[in-house]
A and B are shown apart, each in its own frame.
Chain A
Amino acid sequence: MPGETSGAKTWQFALNGATKFRFSVLVWTEVPDPDAYSVRLTRISAGYGHTCGHDLDGKLYCWGDNRYGQLGDGTRIDRPTPVAVQVPTAHATLTVSAGHYHACGLSVAGPAYCWGSNVFGQHGDGRTINNAVPVFVAGTY
């Protein structure tokens, strides 16, 4: 990961009478194919420690802090790259807004959904339980 330092490996050289030596090296690394994991977003919204956005097809992604499930991927694992929010497939997202520790999306078809921290009932689902995946805002649309 960026900034990360690898585990240490011991290097040994036989001196064979020499008192100094020099060498040059290159670092080789595997990196993700950007086309395989990157996304092309048309709209984003930044929360406190997380960010969410959606692409042209209305598919939602979030990344960053996930302690309250605010990435909507069904886990509470922080993600340094975008992960798909588990929105029901029938609901393409029209717009998304990230709050302090939660986020909400509005679907093209009308229903709105929220995920993440829900301690104040900010998901509008009639409860105050955090949700790691989107839940629909109560009411009719």
Chain B
Amino acid sequence: MNGESSGGPSYNLVVGSQHRYVRMANDAPVMDATTWSANVTVQNLTLQPFGTLDGTTAEAAGVRVFFVDEPNNGVEVLNHDGEATFTEAVPQ
């Protein structure tokens, strides 16, 4: 993945529960015969600062969205940023 951390103490947090901890939303999608596209945002619904190492300064790639299951009916994601693996279940 791009956007390496600038250093400093931090935890990594994997967040689920749409509309409880996070809200993912998209504007009106644009679709033609071959492609579907939309602008997607992530809203932090928790009291915990997201994407920051010090509670104030935003990290450039401090929030990322991972596909757990990609479409399995021939639809392909066209603009992945990359791949990464979660190697620890505890804060790292």
Instruction: Give A contacts to B, CB under 8 Å.
Output: 1-18, 21-37, 79-81
Contacts and interface: CB of A to CB of B under 8 A. Distances in A.
Contact of B24 (A7, A25, A28, A81): A25
A27 B27 CA distance: 18
Interface string B39-79: 11111111111111111100100111111111101111111
Contact of A80 (B46, B56, B62, B68): B56
A61 to B, nearest CB: 12
A11 B38 contact: yes
Interface residues of B, number: 59
A34 B13 CA distance: 13
Interface in B24-44: 24, 26-27, 31, 33-44
A93 to B, nearest CB: 22
A71 to B, nearest CB: 12
A28 B62 CA distance: 8
16 contacts: A1-B52, A2-B46, A6-B41, A8-B27, A11-B37, A11-B79, A14-B75, A23-B70, A29-B13, A29-B51, A29-B63, A30-B53, A31-B11, A33-B9, A36-B8, A36-B9
A3 B39 contact: no
A43 B16 CA distance: 35
